[in-house]
Amino acid sequence: MKYNEIKSILLNEQKVWLITGVAGFIGSNLAEALLKLNQKVISLDNFATGHAYNLEHIKSSVSPKEWENFSFIEGDITNFETCQEVTKNVDIVLHQAALGSVPRSIDTPVISNHVNVTGFLNMLTAAKDNGVKRFVYASSSSVYGDSQELPKVESRTGNLLSPYAVTKYVNELYMGVFQKCYGMEAIGLRYFNVFGKRQDPNGAYAAVIPKWIGQILEGEDLFINGDGETSRDFTYIENVIQANILAGTTDNPKAFGEAFNTAIGGRETLNNLYSAIVKGLKENLPELEIKDAIYRDFRAGDIRHSNANIDKMKELLGYEPTHSLEQGLSESIAWYINDIKGKNK
């Protein structure tokens, strides 16, 4: 397996990685994984959506020696000087900082554009100016818009449905231009509904899996948008970590300037997801009382079905998902039970 080969190499070859958005869900998991591989991690966050306690989670998850390789800078990607400073002497950028969420972008399109487009261009330009050759960044499955094709293939997208989707598509356009004009080894990862430990279950823009797990554990009402037959390619965080590390280390020139579906390559409805979460929670907490879900209107800007073709990433990067939806849910549910129940003590 290509991923195992790369991990073995990294354990003996230390590189300097910059992770933006490190206090967020994906960024903190990437930092933890890289530190455990003996890598040096420089990190940036402004805590707009990330949390300081995620940095504490990283520290408690790695050894004291590994933690010595971690450095943190509090700053904002919309400040170009900050971007210039953090990209000095960096080998690989993993750019995760963004304002996520389709509904948030519909509510605040100007702010979403400022962070996701201006901030992205700041980081890309600063990396280029400081001689950083490899730039990996988070794109999104939202760029497929109203395309009815299943599974989604990278070369064919539809009409965009939200300001958030526009920002991520613009990121991909800039990536292609910087690869052509400056020879940057830029790679985009189109995330499909990523979930796992440290994903915030609270707030108006929380993702569905942590939100539902949190609501059930707290005895709150749980809502399903539409008829529940909307489907998604739910992707466990370990698969996303693999994709980032493979993209950050690949020597395949065919991958540069490209965007890759980052997913399992499956599809599950919200109704089935809800049933699986209920089953998993009941297995861990037989005494748990669970309310029936409440159905409400479809959410503006949402696509109906999402399912990724992952052949391109398999072929060009050697990607092989290690965790199915079921495995990911099992690990996530156990983590949230410990985390939420621990906070309630």
User: Are the C-beta atoms of 213 and 304 separated by less than 8 Å?
Assistant: no
- Taking alpha carbons only, the member of 334, 155, 171 closest to residue 260 is 155
Radius of gyration of the chain (CA): 19
User: Are the C-beta atoms of 115 and 109 separated by less than 8 Å?
Assistant: no
CA atoms 254, 322, 340, 61: torsion sign: negative
**Given the residues 3, 137, 144, 164, the one annotated as active site:** 164
Characterise 134 by phi-psi region: left (phi > 0), alpha (psi -120 to 50), beta (else).
Answer: beta
Q: DSSP H helical segments within the chain, as ranges?
A: 2-12, 25-36, 52-61, 64-67, 80-86, 102-107, 109-113, 119-129, 163-182, 208-218, 237-249, 270-284, 311-317, 325-344
- The single residue listed with the structure tokens 């971007």 is 83
Q: Judge whether 164 counts as a catalytic residue.
A: yes
32 backbone dihedrals φ, ψ, rounded to 5°: -60, -45
> N- to C-terminal Cα distance for the chain?
42
Distance CA 58, CA 285 (A): 27
Distance CA 139, CA 190 (A): 4
Distant-in-sequence, close-in-space partners of 203: CB < 8 Å, separation ≥ 6: none
User: Are the C-beta atoms of 126 and 184 separated by less than 8 Å?
Assistant: no
Three-state DSSP at 146 gives: coil
At CB < 8 A and 24+ separation, what contacts does 202-205 make? 204/103, 204/104, 205/100, 205/101, 205/103, 205/104
Helix, strand and coil percent figures for the chain, each rounded to 5: 50, 15, 35
* Residue 178: Cβ within 10 Å count: 20
Active site residues: 164
